[in-house]
């Protein structure tokens, strides 16, 4: 992120801390709870936002070297993503051309050839059909036109994008816009290594999962015994980029920066986190030498269920630091008490940090989401209210409704 932008954001957050006031959108909105429970809306969003919309499937580090592969089964099209021997990223429909069985079963690994488990037709990681057993019994097959069905795939600035339809449009400049694309490029996400994933399946609509990352108003209340011990909340800087946005909240130590010259300010130090919402379902938290991506997917058969996948990525330096600390015996496992103790100076394991982060989401945020889901399904509460201090929620739901052709959010006067 450009230095002047970092200073602009940190100054606004300092002003909010000084005045003891959160962001003010100047308006409240009413939102119909049907958005979380209506099967017709769920069917429409599955079609428009998942089956027929570009999907961020991960970072370059998910396919770390030639021969790496990933399988994805989150948005209706089973995908096999590969990195071929020339380092080129591909995405295919994970379906054998013989009779449709998945040619790759594992979630991730290394393989140059994928052999279908049913009759052992084999495909290269460039998608070519390379072998058919007992071909003389089977009869002639033109191998040159029976490779895996290729899907549009783009690797750009460390981000891996796929379109779920073979003829889908995948234009990243158009998708992100120039300003956001450049800003994401500044984090060098391509240098980060995959550091683990945790999946959360719960009884809440995927948009309620997404709403968790839409305000800082709840930090000091819901998270008073966990996150709020290190991140105060009630501050927020928001910038919209078309359908996407960036949201930043102050670190507890932000005011110390007043003693430091502005040209030395670093947003990674002055803020608690920098969070990008990428339409439709991605939360990307960009750290100085790490990144967390939360992908939220609906259950296509049940508007009241969703799956969130939390992916952690780290720089080699961080991984090496953990290794050195482990060897020196200064590494410790953390739990919710020690992880959120601001005076705790010991180095936690990366896996334990990830566990604490995801369990906070699961046991605190998504637990609220399950209550909200029950209310939405009951239908007696027709509307919920988004406050003046919750503008990321305004933006997300306005955009979502516009894309689906639903009535706009109603202003409360």
Binding site residues, ligand FES, CB under 6 A: 96, 98-99, 101, 116, 118-121
Query: Which one, 121 or 217, has the nearer CB to ligand FES?
Result: 121
Instruction: Supply 356's token pair.
Output: 């604490």
Q: How far is CA 299 from the centre of its chain?
A: 17
- By beta-carbon proximity to ligand FES, the closer residue of 101 and 181 is 101
Please choose which of Fe ion, ligand FES, none residue 365 contacts, taking the beta carbon within 5 to 8 angstroms, the exact cut-off set by kind.
Fe ion
Of all residues in the chain, what percent are helix, strand and coil, respectively (each to 5)?
35, 30, 35
Minimum CB distance to Fe ion smaller for 74 or for 365 = 365
Q: Which is nearer to ligand FES, 101 or 130 (CB)?
A: 101
Residue 222 CB contacts under 8 Å (≥ 6 apart), including other chains: 364, 365, 368
- Write the DSSP assignment of 243-269 as a string of letters: TEEEEEEE-TTGGGGGGS-GGG--HHH
| Nearer of residues 23 and 72 to Fe ion, judged by Cβ | 23
Q: Which residues contact 367 (CB under 8 A, 6 or more apart)?
A: none
For residue 231, the minimal CB distance to Fe ion (Å) is: 10
Q: 114 vs 314, which CB is nearer to ligand FES?
A: 114
Beta bridge mates, 31: 384
Q: Which does 121 bind (CB under 5 to 8 A by kind): ligand FES, Fe ion, none?
A: ligand FES
CA distance 360 to 176: 30
Residues that bind Fe ion (CB under 5 A): 365
Q: Tell me which residue of 235, 220, 246, 249 sits closest to 340, measured CA to CA.
A: 220
276 binds, among Fe ion, ligand FES, none (CB under 5 to 8 A by kind): none
Residue with structure tokens 């980060």?
192
Residue 146 CB, shortest distance to ligand FES, in Å, is 11
**Which residues are CB-neighbours of 81 under 8 A, at least 6 positions away?**
57, 58, 62, 63, 69, 70, 71, 72, 89, 90, 91, 92, 153, 160, 162
With CB cut-offs between 5 and 8 Å by kind, which of Fe ion, ligand FES, none does residue 119 bind? ligand FES
Toward ligand FES, which CB reaches closer, 116 or 202?
Answer: 116
Euclidean distance between CA atoms 164 and 110, whole angstroms? 23
Parallel/antiparallel/unpaired status of strands 159-162 and 153-156 = antiparallel
């Amino acid at each position: 992120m450009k230095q002047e932008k970092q200073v602009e954001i940190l100054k606004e957050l300092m002003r909010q801390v000084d005045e003891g006031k959160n962001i003010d959108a100047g308006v409240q909105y009413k939102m119909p709870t049907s958005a979380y429970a209506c099967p017709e809306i769920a069917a429409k969003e599955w079609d428009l936002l998942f089956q027929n919309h570009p999907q961020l499937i991960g970072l370059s580090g998910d396919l770390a070297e030639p021969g790496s592969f990933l399988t994805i089964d989150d948005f209706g099209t089973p995908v096999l993503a590969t990195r071929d021997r020339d380092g080129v990223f591909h995405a295919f429909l994970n379906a054998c051309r013989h009779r449709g069985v998945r040619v790759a079963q594992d979630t991730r690994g290394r393989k140059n050839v994928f052999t279908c488990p049913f009759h052992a037709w084999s495909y290269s990681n460039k998608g070519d059909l390379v072998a058919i057993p007992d071909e003389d019994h089977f009869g002639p097959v033109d191998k040159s036109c029976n490779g895996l069905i290729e899907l549009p795939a783009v690797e750009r600035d460390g981000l891996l994008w796929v379109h779920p339809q073979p003829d889908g449009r995948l234009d990243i400049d158009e998708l992100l816009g120039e300003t956001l694309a450049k800003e994401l490029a500044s984090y060098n996400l391509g240098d980060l290594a995959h550091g683990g994933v945790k999946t959360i399946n719960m009884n809440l609509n995927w948009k309620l999962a997404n709403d968790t990352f839409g305000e800082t108003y709840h930090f000091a209340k819901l998270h008073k015994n966990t996150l709020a011990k290190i991140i105060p909340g009630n501050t927020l800087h928001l910038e919209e980029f078309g359908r996407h946005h960036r949201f930043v909240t102050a670190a507890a130590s932000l005011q110390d920066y007043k003693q430091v010259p502005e040209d030395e300010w670093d947003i990674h130090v002055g803020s608690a986190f920098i969070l990008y919402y990428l339409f439709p379902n991605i939360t990307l938290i960009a750290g100085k030498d790490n990144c967390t991506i939360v992908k939220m997917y609906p259950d296509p058969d049940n508007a009241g269920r969703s799956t969130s996948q939390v992916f952690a990525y780290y720089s080699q330096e961080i991984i090496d630091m953990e290794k050195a600390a482990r060897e020196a015996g200064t590494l410790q496992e953390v739990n919710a008490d020690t992880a959120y103790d601001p005076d705790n100076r010991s180095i936690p394991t990366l896996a334990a940090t990830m566990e604490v982060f995801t369990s906070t989401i699961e046991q605190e945020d998504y637990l609220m989401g399950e209550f909200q889901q029950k209310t939405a399904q009951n239908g007696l509460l027709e509307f919920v209210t988004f406050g003046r201090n919750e503008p990321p929620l305004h933006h997300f739901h306005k955009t979502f409704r516009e894309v689906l052709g639903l009535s706009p959010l109603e202003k409360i006067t």
